[in-house]
Amino acid sequence: MEPPVYLSTTYLGPVQQYCKLCRFPEVRMETAENYIKQTYRNRCTIAGANGALSLSVPIVKPDTPKCPTKDIRISDHGNWRHLHWNALVSAYNLSPFFEYYEDDFAPFYLKKYTFLFDFNEELRRLICDLLDIHPVIRPTVGYETSVPNDFREAIRPRHPAADPSFTPQPYYQVFRRKHGFLPNLSIVDLLFNMGPESLPVMNSCG
């Protein structure tokens, strides 16, 4: 039996992350790592009318230089829930499947979550259900430095070469004619544009 894959939590993670969730039947979701800034743990990238757009969930600055990801709290600074939801609507209201999934995602931008990890994981569970993929997810209880199938640091912005097993596959995007195909965006870009056809795209990414 293939060893489990190790992943870090992500906010509306990229297609690359969900390809691992699709490929591996068992996942160890990292909780004990020290939180790392400027990663997909609290940000995602979507395709807007003006090109790639990064959305970041603000966090409460930890009291210590090192803080486990599971203990990172969400900040209410800047009315970010309203801004993120408006950005998603603006980017995808013309996509083929946004109206179909809209009511599934909207509640996440009305409810206040205390911890980033909990917020991310509830979104991840929803997305897996919508994609009809059902990996066994087991949170880690301690940090291990040497593990098989370790993608905890490989899936991060601007570092696609860190995961040679992933090859982005083009699919329909609302603004593709204007900006060209934008690879490895948030999984919601694939879901809102391709709906039930998202899974074949993911299977072809490796």
| Tens-place pLDDT, residues 92-117 | 999 999 999 999 999 999 999 999 99
| Res 30: pLDDT | 96
Q: What is the pLDDT along the chain (206 residues), one digit of tens a residue?
A: 789 999 999 999 999 999 999 999 899 999 999 998 889 999 999 999 999 999 999 999 888 888 999 999 999 888 999 999 999 999 999 999 999 999 999 999 999 999 999 999 999 999 999 999 999 999 999 999 999 999 999 998 876 557 888 999 999 999 999 999 999 999 999 999 999 999 999 999 87
Of 119, 131, 125, the C-alpha closest to 84 is 119
Is the Cβ–Cβ distance between 115 and 70 less than 8 Å?
A: yes
Classify each residue of 73-89 as buried b or exposed e, where b means 16 or more C-beta atoms within 10 Å of its C-beta: ebeeeeebbeebbeebe
Please report the pLDDT score of residue 77 as a whole number.
Answer: 82
Of residues 20, 33, 40, the one with CA closest to residue 135: 20
CB of 101 closer than 8 Å to CB of 190: no
Q: State residue 161's pLDDT score.
A: 57
Write the CA distances from 47 to 25, 28, 44, 192, 201, integer angstroms.
Answer: 30, 29, 10, 11, 17
d(CA 46, CA 52): 6
pLDDT in tens, 163-184: 888 999 999 999 999 999 999 9
Instruction: Report the pLDDT value the prediction gives residue 122, as an integer from 0 to 100.
Output: 98
Closest to 20 measured CA to CA, from 142, 165, 193, 160: 165
Neighbouring C-beta atoms of residue 159, cutoff 10 Å: 11
Own/partner pairs for 125-134, CB < 8 Å, 24+ apart? Answer: 127/12, 127/18, 127/187, 127/188, 127/191, 128/18, 128/21, 130/101, 130/104, 130/191, 131/18, 131/22, 131/187, 131/191, 131/198, 131/199, 131/202, 132/199, 133/18, 133/21, 133/22, 133/199
